[in-house]
Every structure is written in C-alpha cells, then in structure tokens.
Structure 1
C-alpha cells in the first residue's frame, strides 16, 4: 500500500522527536562532568564525519544550489547553532521534561511568525489559541516564583531559534538535498563551538563519556535529517501535532534516567500548550478544506 505524504511526514516527525530526545538524554547525562562547548565540538566532529560520508555516497555533495537557498541556509544554520546553545544550556540546568514542555510552544510560535513575517492570515480564533498557549508556557516557566529557573529564558530563546530554523527550512527549494543541509549544519555547529571551546578548560573523558558522546552523535544525525525532511513533505497542519510525542519521550526518559517528574503546574501548562497547538492546527486544516481549488502543498 502506498503511504501518503502526510503519513510519511507524521512518521518523520515522530522519528525526529525520538532522536532529539535520546540525544538530549545522553548529553544531559554528562552535565557538570564535561564542559558544554567541549561536548558540542566532539559531537560535531563525529556527526560531521558520518554525515559527510553519507552525503558523499548519496551524491548530495554534487548538488547545485539556487542562489536564494544559500542565504536561507545561512539563516537556518545560525538559528540551529543558537538553538543548540540555548537549549542545551537550559537542559543542563533544568529537568528534561520541563525544557521539552516549553518547546511544545513551537507550533504556536511558527503560526505567529508566519503571520508576522510571511503575511499568512491568522483569524481571531487562532490568535486566541496562541495567547492561551503562551499562558500555558507561563505556567511551565512560572516567573517570579520560588520555582522559577532563569534558564527557562534560555529555553524560550531556543524556541525562537527553532522557529526561525523551521520557517527557513520550509522555504528551501526542492532541488536542495536534505543531506547537504544536514552536513552544512553539522560543520557550522562543530566549527563555532570548536572555537568557543578554546576558551574553556577541557575535562578528561572516560569510556562512559565517550560512549555517551557517540550515542548522542548518532541520534543527532537522525534528528537533524528527519527534522529537515519533515518540513519538506505533507501538510504542516497534519504533521505538526506529532511533535508532541517528544514530550512523552522526555517524561519517560527524564524519569528513567534522572528520576525527574514534572510538577503539577508544569503538566497543566504543558497540557494547555498542547491543547492550544492542536486547536490551531485543527483550524488550519478546517480552513484548508474550505479553500476552493486548493493547491497541493508546496515542497520547498
């Protein structure tokens, strides 16, 4: 049976979320033992070598990119580097599920950014859903309370970076191979954090740390590749809700690996964010069915 583009996108989204969460778990397991910049450089080295080999075998290195795509990839790469720094800094100082719960605001921020910068129409119902969703984020972050962790601001900055990354990915032309974009992302991350690592004292690493870095490298390759592929197939309104499977993985792995479990208000805030996101996506799909002579989704 032939699988539809939407079903393929849903599977890619779930795979991406699982890969990223397993990577996050491996990286968090080394928090406090190995400096962040050292970890990102070593993970980047392994990832870049493996991705380069895969890209070469696939012939992706011979691709000729449209001129406009170079600018989009530069923007996407900068956003990816920012997301890695802000997210992992937050992750090293907050429970895994809490950071992941904040990231569930992404469907809302992407919808809002598309309205502000791409002039896509957003009705009052979806705007209310976005505002309600941000109330849920406030319940997770809880600024001004004893439970507030300043590193939650880093998680919010990571959300901004990922929003820019995903919108720029969506606008890439179909002639730009996903593996080539993955390779450039990996090279940029390795180079920038490699330079930053020169300013910190490196920590010795044993078999445990090396094994965790290798594990994180393998999963981040899958996360990078699947996150690019998913933005280039199917309808976002159908695929995006499957992003929420990342929260389930984060709760499970956070409990098993670190003994963490989110507070009640955090769970309530996460439920509000997810519910708002689902309503936003439902409205998009409903409006999409009403549009006359709707065109197939563009595969940028």
Structure 2
C-alpha cells in the first residue's frame, strides 16, 4: 500500500478520534441536567436520522432480518452496554480519566480475540495486555481516596466495547458498515427511551443542552464515517496507533472546556496503557510481516 495512503489513513483516524472525543465532551457537559436515558435517546435520535439518510442515499439499507444474525445481535448488545456504562460514568468522573481507561480497549480486543476466536497471541502480547491493565489499575486506584465506583463503569464499557468489536469481525462483508451503524444507533435510541424512567425520569431539556447534544451527534456521525474511511485507506498496523490521539484530545478538552486537571496517577497510568498498546501493535506488525514472508517463500518454492 502506498505511503501516502497510510498518511491519509492516519489523518482520518486522528480525525475520527477527535470527533468521538468531542462528542464525549458534549455528553459530559449535559450530564448535570439530563439523565443517561435522556442522553441516549436524544443523541441517538439525531444520529439515527443522519446515518439513515446517508445509508438510504448510498443504498446501504438491508432487510431487517439481517439484524437477527447472532453476531449482529451480540455486536448491538455490546454497543448498548458500552453506551450505558460510559455515558453514566461521564456523569461521575472527569473526561480525561474515563478516556484514559478506555485506551485499554485495543488490548481487551486482543485478549478477547485470543480467548473467544482462538487467535494466536504470543507471550509478548499477553505481557503487554497484563502491563496495560496494571496501568488501568493505577488510573482507577482501587482503595485510594481518588477511587470512584464510576471508574469500574468505564472498565465495564471497555469489556462491552471489546465484545462489540470482536463481534463486528464476525459479521459478513456483505453487510454494509452504514447499515450496521444505522441499526445500532436506532436500537440505542429505543433503549434510551426505555431507560428514561428507571434512570430518573424526564428532566427539562435546556436549549443549550439540546444544541450540545446535536453537535455531539454530528461529531459521532463524523467519527463513524472517518473511522470507516481510515480502516479502508491505510494499513491497519500503521494507522491503529493513532487511536491514542483521543487521549490527547480528552486531556485538552477536559482542561480547557471542562476544567478537569489530570493528576499524576492518571498521567502515569495512561502512559503505561498507551505504551503497552503500542507495543502490542508493534508485535502484531512483526507477526504479519513474518506471515507474509512465509507465504511468499512457499509460493517461490512451489
């Protein structure tokens, strides 16, 4: 793949992470006024309209029976779980802390792929996974004064999001990404509507909160699209590390927009998680090159 394609893919991945993190910041801004169910419902409704319009224009819609595929349903369940836990956690802890814990997601996906899909993971990547989760423990500090139970909600979000990503790998290539995004967004909207009462009922929605959620919805949609474009433009091994740029955005937005000042524990834990993730990506790249070299040697011999 051309070097320029990798650069484009890296830029698109960085834009995707910026979009997702801005969306998180918008959600964080309204958590004092609105419940988790309200946020899921309002943001989901706006996002669903955007995605459905684009999916319809691009003829990416499929029969509803498609969503009944087991892996599709598991992916949707994972997305719902990730949304509930992460949005609720954002109402309790600073954005940079939540984002820092979420950086363990690639490591969780690697672990899940090994345990559930039988993918080969060597001792080096298992070590990286273990080190990464030590970093998570440093961030959440169980038993420390800075610990909050909401931190465990983000860990739950990592687990459910990893389930979502693993299930996504098993969905057939004949199912368009836009259709997956559209049906997931609609489902989250419906679930959000059902959660309004259990999470405290319907609060009045100030106009500025509605505007922030609308802007967040646009950013969420932009994140979905640029992420898909990134994965289809550059080599995954090259662009995947740029996922960690979301942490930079989270720290900046937390500091200048939300007034959240990261402490030394959060920064130390984040550095460990990111370093472990980058090493895991590096090992995956090395293994992929070896596999390609073996295939080429076999073809040459034959």
The TM-score normalised by the length of structure 1 is 0.90
Instruction: Summarize deviations over 1:89-146 as a string: whole Å, max 9, x none.
Output: 1111111000000011112111111111111111112111111111111110100111
- Report 1:1-300 matches (<5 A): 6-61=6-61, 63=62, 70-199=69-198, 200-228=200-228, 235-291=235-291, 292-293=294-295
Cα distance in 1 for residues equivalent to 2:228 and 2:51? 14
The answer to whether the Cα contact below 8 Å between 1:178 and 1:229 also exists between their aligned partners in 2 is no
Q: Secondary structure at the match of 2:216?
A: helix
Q: Secondary structure at the match of 2:257?
A: helix
Q: Size of the alignment, in residue pairs?
A: 293
- Measured on the aligned residues, the alpha-carbon RMSD in Å equals 2.3
Superposed displacement of residue 210, structure 1: 1.5
The answer to whether the Cα contact below 8 Å between 1:104 and 1:244 also exists between their aligned partners in 2 is yes
Instruction: Summarize deviations over 1:147-184 as a string: whole Å, max 9, x none.
Output: 11110000000001111111122232222111111110
The answer to whether the Cα contact below 8 Å between 1:98 and 1:140 also exists between their aligned partners in 2 is yes
Q: 1:260 to 1:189 in 2, by over 3 A?
A: same
Q: Secondary structure at the match of 1:60?
A: coil
Superposed displacement of residue 286, structure 1: 1.0
Stretches of structure 2 lacking an aligned partner (at least 5 in a row): 297-302
Instruction: Summarize deviations over 1:198-248 as a string: whole Å, max 9, x none.
Output: 443211122211111211111121233444555566544333211100000
Cα distance in 1 for residues equivalent to 2:154 and 2:203? 26
The answer to whether the Cα contact below 8 Å between 2:75 and 2:163 also exists between their aligned partners in 1 is yes
Superposed displacement of residue 12, structure 1: 3.6
Residue in 1 that maps onto 2:300: none
Stretches of structure 1 lacking an aligned partner (at least 5 in a row): 295-300
The answer to whether the Cα contact below 8 Å between 2:6 and 2:234 also exists between their aligned partners in 1 is yes
Q: More deviation in 232-241 or 242-251?
A: 232-241
Cα distance in 2 for residues equivalent to 1:109 and 1:45? 29
The answer to whether the Cα contact below 8 Å between 2:67 and 2:73 also exists between their aligned partners in 1 is no
Superposed displacement of residue 2, structure 1: 6.5
